[in-house]
Amino acid sequence: MTDVIEREIKVKLNVDPQSLMEKLLQDGYVYVGKETQEDIYLNGDTRDFRKTDEALRIRLVNDKIELTYKGPKMGSRSKSREEITVSLDDKDSMIRILEKLGYREAQSVRKTRHVLKKGEFSVCIDIVEGLGNFVEIEGIDIDEEKLLDFFKEFKSRFGISGEVITKSYLELKVEKLASSSN
Amino acid sequence: MTDVIEREIKVKLNVDPQSLMEKLLQDGYVYVGKETQEDIYLNGDTRDFRKTDEALRIRLVNDKIELTYKGPKMGSRSKSREEITVSLDDKDSMIRILEKLGYREAQSVRKTRHVLKKGEFSVCIDIVEGLGNFVEIEGIDIDEEKLLDFFKEFKSRFGISGEVITKSYLELKVEKLASSSN
């Protein structure tokens, strides 16, 4: 669909997601919608995306199916990556074609995402299966400085104290699986 | 979309495409439609599909965009391959994702295809840019013997004398380019 620089900042929620949502709505945020997302991550047979810091993902969101490639992180303080996405009609066939090209299902992450908007920023409240609750602030093609300022102001206004998490849900999940198998 | 065994037989036309089409219609064939197809073939940076006898193709047909993987030929007398296809919304993004995965545009083939049907067989009259006119008979999930019988009868009924071509238009184009550069 589009080729954009997506910048995002994420933090683990130390407040209740429902009450945060209510506060945002009172503050003039617009509720965009709720999505049930299943992300299937693939990895290469001869190319380890954990090492190259790339990602290849099939996302099922409501009735849509998307294939996304994410390039290595570019920013240092927020998370910026090149993203290329196409919409398609058949998850299983796409997975089978990618298998033929040497890419295989590695992990999946399921979450419920509530999306709210204010100006150029999207605020996503994510309830992630097996990982907990997070808030992710996203901006498309915006300045890193601007996103960081918005984030700082956001945290103080809504009483969120967590540290910035630069890891993806996939990385957090892999980490958790590794530590629980020790 | 689908995962099927497509069998096809192709022959170079020694008769005029338009007059063949008229004869087919008189013979009870149904005209399905005309398609303008552009096929973009990709090849791997470290994996040569000409050697593995696979194909990765993006087809633009009228308003649709499809990605197809074709496995190696399985039949000996007709052309049978595993095919996996997905429909998608954006050719350029798909090409860019595949480039990131190590696959690059190699060749393209443009043709006008008239499709006619009789029973379980599709007859495609193809006017291929730079290669000439062909007729291709296709059957999905049918017996090889049955296709060969149909083809024999078809040739004799409509006065077509060419030999079976097992090469794809892509292979014919590559061959022609190679010979013209000598």
* pLDDT by residue, tens only, chain B of 182 residues: 445 677 788 999 988 999 999 999 999 999 999 999 999 999 999 999 989 999 999 999 988 999 999 999 876 666 678 999 999 999 999 999 999 999 999 999 999 999 999 988 999 999 999 999 999 998 877 888 888 899 999 999 999 988 888 788 888 998 888 888 76
Instruction: Report which secondary-structure segment, H or E, holds B121.
Output: strand B121-128
The answer to whether the Cβ–Cβ distance between A87 and B89 falls below 8 Å is: yes
CB atoms within 10 A of CB A44: 18
Q: Which residue has the tokens 């900042």?
A: A9
Residue of B nearest to A43 (CA): B101
What's the pLDDT at A73? 81
Q: Residue A144's pLDDT is what?
A: 85
Classify residue B82: in a domain, yes or no: yes
Distance CA A107, CA A102 (A): 16
Flag whether residue A71 sits within 8 Å of chain B, measured between CB atoms. yes
Domain that holds residue B59: 8-180
Contact of A100 with chain B, judged by CB distance below 8 Å, is answered with yes
- A-to-B residue pairs, Cβ atoms closer than 8 angstroms: 72
Q: Chain A closest CA to B28's CA: distance in Å?
A: 35
Q: What is the pLDDT of residues B89-127, one digit of tens each?
A: 999 999 999 999 999 999 999 999 999 999 889 999 999
Answer yes or no: is B3 within a domain.
Answer: no
* Closest residue to B86, CB basis, from A54, A90, A103: A90
Does B47 fall in a domain? yes
What CATH number is associated with residue A72?
A: 2.40.320.10
Tell me what the pLDDT averaged over chain B comes to. Answer: 90
Furthest-apart CA atoms within chain B: distance in Å = 51
Residue closest to A84 by CA, chosen among B37, B96, B123, B108: B96
Residue B63 covered by a domain: yes
Whether residue B106 lies inside any domain: the answer is yes
pLDDT of residue A94: 98
Taking residues A121-144, report their average pLDDT. 92
Does residue B88 lie in a domain region? yes
Task: Write down the pLDDT at residue B59.
Answer: 96
Which DSSP string corresponds to chain A?
Answer: --EEEEEEEEEE-SS-HHHHHHHHHHTTPEEEEEEEEEEEEEEESS--HHHHT-EEEEEEETTEEEEEEE-----SSSEEEEEEEEEES-HHHHHHHHHHTTEEEEEEEEEEEEEEEETTEEEEEEEETTTEEEEEEEEES--HHHHHHHHHHHHHHHT--PPEE-S-HHHHHHHHHHHHT-
Answer whether A56 touches B (CB < 8 Å): yes
Cβ pair B88, B65 in contact under 8 A: yes
**Chain A 8-27, residues with CB within 8 Å of chain B CB atoms:** none
Residues of B designated catalytic: 41
Answer whether residue B46 is part of any domain: yes
Count of domains in chain B? 1
* Chain A touched by B85 (CB under 8 Å): yes
By the 8 A CB rule, do B127 and B115 touch? Answer: no
